[in-house]
Amino acid sequence: MPTAEDFKEQIDSVCKISETDPSKSYDILGKLGQGGFAKVFKVKRKSDGFVCALKFVEPKNEKERKIILNEIGLMQMCMEN
């Protein structure tokens, strides 16, 4: 099991959190789905035309933000093992 510091470092390496409007960097091609915390869109990056999925999450507070980041870290750890 990683230390708390290693866990945070791993989350930071796999999760890109942006406080800016994603429409500045991506063109939305369509909505793929929606869950309790997020919406997922098919997008095209404006800089190079790369098509990918973008998960848009708007946590209501800092506690919810930490829960989401922990979940991302746990999913990443499971994918590596």
Return the domain boundaries, the chain: 4-80
pLDDT at 58: 81
| Both tokens assigned to 21 | 């409007």
pLDDT at 14: 65
Rounded to 5 degrees, what are φ and ψ at 22? -65, -20
Q: What is the dihedral of CA 16, 31, 57, 76, to 10 degrees?
A: -50
| Both tokens assigned to 27 | 């063109």
Q: Write down the CATH superfamily of domain 4-80.
A: Phosphorylase Kinase; domain 1 (3.30.200.20)
Query: Taking the chain (81 residues) in consecutive chunks of 10 residues, what is each chunk's mean pLDDT?
Result: 75 70 91 89 96 87 84 74 56
Model pTM score = 0.63
pLDDT at 56: 85
All residues at 6 or more sequence positions from 31 whose CB lies less than 8 Å from its CB, including other chains: 39, 40, 41, 42
